[in-house]
Amino acid sequence: MPLRNPKQRNETAMEQRISAILHRFAKNSLLPAMDTKPRFAGIDIVKILACFFVVSVHFFRNCGFYNTPITPDFGTLAIYGRWLTFTCVPLFMITTGFLMKNKKLSGKYYLGITRVLCIYIVISLLCVIYNVHVLHLNLSGWDIVRGLFMYTDAQYAWYVEYYFTIFLLIPFLNAGWQAMETRGRKTALLLTVILLTMVSPTFYIGTVKATQIRILPGYFYRCYPIGYYFIGAYIREYPPKRDLKHKLVYVVILLAAWIYDSLITLWQCLKNTENNCVWSSWHNDDYAAMPTVIMSTMLFLLLFDITVKKAKTAQILSVLSNATFAAYLISYIFDCIAYRILNDRVAEIPQRFRYMAIVIAAVFICSMVSGLLIQRLYDIAHSRITKDIAAIRQRKMHKALPPDAP
């Protein structure tokens, strides 16, 4: 090996010292780490957007939109907004399939419901307190216990009932999914489930509702959450290419389904003269309806593979995403507060849409902050209990060792 001259040795030593100083600074967060490795944050973005859409779609119900006559001067833009935000729950359902497709039957798997169960109980109690002390509802102890099991203590807890059900089925859904050994068989399974649970309740022949003919049997259409689960599982197993061409295709399909759903709803509302032209959607006003399925899937495909370069950004998105479940449930309380104020102060329903952005933003921020707090309290309690259990097990193991053991 050739010998280095003193000047080269000094330069090498100086470079090593500078590198060590920068490493210590980055480690101690005195300087931002020069981390350009992309991190997938798309699923977190999907969950945050879905939570925002939940808060947004509730505006239409709480402001009285569904009981207001639709006219050429009022309602057209609102219909477009309603259908876009209606993708909220399907986005959550697709995400579940995407994240859970590899779960297998085990005792450890079933412990995964603990977080959902604990947060659900806490928020149910908070909703009960609000209903009793603010809304002055007369609830007995039996009413409260019954509401916990009937998913009515927390008014948006129907989603919890869905999640408990799909959670119990997931290991068996995954086993059936993996039994389809080829992509062709998995595609056939997915299309069959979509056909029976999503296509069947949507497509009819005829333009008069009372005399329309349903094309396919719709007996199992309430099983549509399984269809969304398999959509997420399929995307996870066979992700499409991440390029501009595919994204543009998703945008075009999304816009086509969105415009179709909105225009057909506008036509059906204007045709609903016997009910004063109020909101009317014959077969699409359901999460199982194909326009909603298409829009939700395209939105998911647009967002799920987004990456971010900054670790701090990815961390923030992850924390917000983890709090969306609690934020979703507790948004009921802030809905009650916000819409009581809005509806008392603004009598005309069309005028309430002027405050739509402010109300939605306020409810969403309050719900997210509360969700973050509840999630943080759960994390602290879970960490403490886990450590205590580990310490107890360690003491038992220590006592079980023979006296001469090291």
The tens digit of pLDDT for each residue in 157-203 reads: 999 999 999 999 999 999 999 999 999 999 999 999 999 999 988 88
Confidence band of 34 (pLDDT split at 50, 70, 90): very low
Instruction: Name which of 47-51, 375-379, 384-388 the model is least confident about.
Output: 384-388
Average pLDDT, the chain: 89
Express the helix, strand and coil content of the chain in percent, nearest 5 each.
Answer: 75, 0, 25
Q: Which residues pair with 214 in a beta bridge?
A: 204
CA–CA distance, 236 with 173 (Å, rounded to integer): 15
Instruction: Dig out the tokens for 287 from the structure.
Output: 């999460």
Q: Mean of the pLDDT values across residues 145-155? A: 94
Nearest of 130, 150, 151, 128 to residue 140 by alpha carbon: 128
Confidence band of 391 (pLDDT split at 50, 70, 90): confident
Q: Is the dihedral of CA 144, 148, 149, 150 positive or negative?
A: positive
| Secondary structure class of 63 (helix, strand, coil) | coil
- Per-residue pLDDT tens digits for 229-262: 999 999 999 999 999 999 999 999 999 999 999 9
CA–CA distance, 401 with 323 (Å, rounded to integer): 43
CA–CA distance, 284 with 291 (Å, rounded to integer): 7
- Per-residue pLDDT tens digits for 296-317: 999 999 999 999 989 999 999 9
CA–CA distance, 384 with 390 (Å, rounded to integer): 10
**% of the chain residues with pLDDT over 90:** 75
Name the DSSP letter for residue 201. T
Q: Are 196 and 220 in contact (CB under 8 A)?
A: yes
CA–CA distance, 305 with 301 (Å, rounded to integer): 8
CA–CA distance, 340 with 22 (Å, rounded to integer): 55
pTM equals 0.87
Instruction: Dig out the tokens for 157 from the structure.
Output: 């807890």
Residues 232, 221, 238, CA angle at the centre, nearest 5°?
20
Q: Mutual orientation of helices 42-62 and 290-303 as an angle, nearest 10°?
A: 140
Residue 26 has pLDDT above 50, yes or no: no
State the pLDDT at residue 201: 84
Confidence band of 127 (pLDDT split at 50, 70, 90): very high
For residue 264, count CB atoms less than 10 angstroms from its CB and return exposed for 0-12, middle for 13-18, buried for 19 or more.
Answer: middle
CA–CA distance, 234 with 369 (Å, rounded to integer): 33
CA–CA distance, 144 with 124 (Å, rounded to integer): 9
Nearest of 323, 374, 312, 287 to residue 44 by alpha carbon: 323
Q: How far is CA 299 from CA 90, 213, 383, in A?
A: 10, 31, 35
